[in-house]
Amino acid sequence: MTIAGSDSGGGAGIQADLKTFQELGVFGTSVITALTAQNTLGVEGIFPTTPDFVKQQIEVVFQDLAVKAVKTGMLFSPTIIETVSDTLKEKDVQLVVDPVMIAKGGANLLQSEAVDALKSQLLPLATVLTPNIPEAEVITGMSIHSVNEIEKAAEKILSLGVESVVMKGGHLSGKEAIDHVYFKDGSYFAIQSNRVNTTQTHGTGCTFSAAITAFLGQGKTLKEAIIEAKKFIQLAIEHPLNIGHGHGPTNHFAYNQMKKSFEVVVHES
């Protein structure tokens, strides 16, 4: 299940999640928290769903279908976060939280007053949190520029009650795109791939977290799911569709077309 906003342009949000689920052979269900009028150039409008209707969508799906894993994306407001948290805490599922805050074009996809609810209500339910660097900075109140600061921020995030955190390196510079993964039990690994010099990165975070969710739903361990999701997003970025006039979407077909010839580098400590 994905609980997220709709991207009318199809590159991020619910649409990216369902395309990822489909490519990975997983039956996707969706709970829409907001409609956005959006394309590769930016977000032009946001129309949130009422919290009661968000709850109704979740309950109706759970009453009928055996949901194995859930991800959250754009949740927009404190009341939607409270509703999603209250509803999910009754369910026995693995939860991937992508703390979507600001779109690449600069639009606010999470009201600033919603950050407290995210931290206090949703994060304690998360199997894994997948912040990019700016999101990790908002959650921790720290500024993050080095691996040392990434580790300190991860410790702070783990203290909020999440089981594990993937500190995504997409927003840093360097020849490699490195994601650092920390677990509550103190274990750690990092996954490294070549940084692609491209503007075709709309929806990278949504696609990556949806792939983790799909692999968890198929029964992979969290570590296996994160590593395989990194392959999915790397191939999706490396083979862009080159559509639209702004930040184009990633290519959800690439993993199935090319995965046999590709591995990412995993560092353990």
Ligand X SMILES: Cc1ncc(COP(=O)(O)OP(=O)(O)O)c(N)n1
Residue placing its CB nearer to ligand X in the complex, 187 or 242 = 242
- 156 included as an active-site residue: no
What part of residues 151-190 is at the interface with ligand ADP (CB under 6 A)? 168-171, 177, 179
Eight-class DSSP state of 108: B
Residue placing its CB nearer to ligand X in the complex, 28 or 203 = 203
Phi, psi of 47 (to 5 degrees): -130, 95
- 106 included as an active-site residue: no
Report if residue 119 touches ligand ADP, rule: CB under 6 A: no
How crowded is residue 22: how many other Cβ atoms within 10 Å of its Cβ?
13
Query: Which one-letter amino acid corresponds to residue 98?
Result: D
Pick the stretch among 13-21, 26-34, 107-115, 201-209 that binds ligand ADP (CB under 6 A).
Answer: 201-209
- 45 included as an active-site residue: no
Residue placing its CB nearer to ligand ADP in the complex, 119 or 230 = 230
What would you report as the CA-atom Rg of the chain, rounded to the nearest whole angstrom? 17
Q: Could you say which of 203, 213, 230, 231 is catalytic?
A: 203
Cβ distance 203 to 13 under 8 Å? yes
Separation of alpha carbons 35 and 46, rounded Å: 6
Interaction partner, residue 196 (ligand X, ligand ADP, none; CB < 5-8 Å by kind)? ligand ADP
Q: Could you say which of 5, 10, 28, 205 is catalytic?
A: 205
Separation of alpha carbons 192 and 158, rounded Å: 22
Pick the stretch among 79-87, 114-122, 204-212, 256-264 that binds ligand ADP (CB under 6 A).
Answer: 204-212
- Residue from the set 1, 3, 12, 97 that interacts with ligand X by CB under 6 A: 12
- 3-class secondary-structure state, position 105: coil
Contacts with 113 (C-beta within 8 Å, 6 or more apart), sequence order: 78
Cβ distance 136 to 145 under 8 Å? no
- 3-class secondary-structure state, position 119: helix
Separation of alpha carbons 84 and 8, rounded Å: 23
Residue placing its CB nearer to ligand X in the complex, 138 or 183 = 138
- 29 included as an active-site residue: no
Report if residue 204 touches ligand X, rule: CB under 6 A: yes
Query: Which one-letter amino acid corresponds to residue 103?
Result: A
Report if residue 237 touches ligand ADP, rule: CB under 6 A: yes
In the chain, which ranges are E strands?
A: 2-7, 30-39, 42-48, 69-72, 94-97, 128-129, 164-167, 176-183, 188-194, 265-268
- 36 included as an active-site residue: no
Residues designated as active site: 168, 201, 203-206
Tell me which residues touch ligand ADP (CB under 6 A): 132, 168-171, 177, 179, 193, 195-196, 198, 201, 204-205, 208, 230, 233-234, 237
Tell me which residues touch ligand X (CB under 6 A): 4-5, 7, 12-13, 36, 38, 73-74, 100, 103-104, 109, 202-206, 247
